[in-house]
Amino acid sequence: MRIPKSLKKGDTIGLISASGATPKEALPKAVEAVEKLGFKVVIGETCRERYGYLAGKDVLRAKEVNDMFHDPAIDGIFCIRGGYGATKILPLLDYEMISENPKVFTGYSDVTALHIAFNQKCDFVTYHTPMPSTEFIKPEMDEYSWSSFIKSVTNTEQKNYFLENPSKQQMTTFVDGEATGQLVGGNLSLVVASLGTPYEIDTKDKILFLEDIDEYERSIDRMLTQLKLAGKLNDAVGIILGAWTNCGPQNPNHPEESLLLQTIFEEILAPLNIPILMDVACGHCLPTMSLPLGRIITINGELKTIEVVE
């Protein structure tokens, strides 16, 4: 797995949306936030385009991804937001060209579809990070989240370092043990959406990271069950569970009609008998950790640690 060249101050960032449309009022703030990091910004057409809930039609969004990778003046590519739509453009991307031009590529949530495709089809590391028109412009965007993001994109070849939670948020050992493998995954809904397609996630001998937002507990149950039946959970050597933001019962006034996420994890994940860390500060949350998808990591349940070891 190749590691893209680290970004440095003065580099040019291509700002795109491969998914949902960006609110007009958020764009100038997002550009300003990226510029404050010391980067120059090229604003993609998709950042201003709207086609219903999408940032332009599929052909436009795919062309912009291709163009940003092909353009030698662009040093890194930041997805400005998630939403929906990245999966729709997967058949339209030039993976051979993209593979020949690896660059720092960031985003999360719906961007999970692109992370999986670039990791597997283009063989380079990508970065699960907060995004310019969402977290970057929030007053809650904290020093921990900024530091984790900046370190991940400006020191890409760093070895033997720990991915640590904020000081007051301890990781939890769900199943003890130690495992080493390539870090893959992202948003659970998008991981499941890859199944049965040419872009299906490969979890064989890998460590699977999962998170989600705004899903009923029964939906989490259904999606994890689908991963299990597809053999994806059994293939993994370890699992990291991030934030499950607003993932609760459909009818909170009748908790007896639902199951706790903890119960669902115990019934579906614990029997796998592989190391599992949970309460990792990453996903639709702040503070949030940035993850190098595709790097080799070791998770240690006894020490509650995640170490990049490659």
Question: Each residue of 256-295: pLDDT tens digit?
Answer: 878 999 999 999 999 999 999 999 999 999 999 999 999 9
Position 115 scores a pLDDT of 98
Position 63 scores a pLDDT of 98
Q: Is-same-fold flag (12-155; 161-308)?
A: no
Q: Tell me the pLDDT of the chain averaged across its residues.
A: 97
Please state which architecture CATH assigns to domain 12-155. Answer: 3-Layer(aba) Sandwich (3.40)
Residue 310 pLDDT greater than 80, yes or no: no
Position 257 scores a pLDDT of 79
Please state which architecture CATH assigns to domain 161-308. Answer: 3-Layer(bba) Sandwich (3.50)
**177 close to 275: Cβ distance less than 8 angstroms:** yes
Mean pLDDT of 57-77: 98
For the chain, give every domain's residue range. 12-155, 161-308
Residue 78 pLDDT greater than 90, yes or no: yes
Confidence band, pLDDT 50/70/90 cuts, at residue 250: confident
Q: Nearest-CA neighbor of 153 among 115, 117, 106?
A: 106
Which positions are annotated as active-site residues?
109, 211, 284
**77 close to 44: Cβ distance less than 8 angstroms:** no
Q: Which residue intervals of 13-132 are DSSP H helices?
A: 26-36, 58-70, 86-89, 95-100, 112-121
Confidence band, pLDDT 50/70/90 cuts, at residue 251: confident
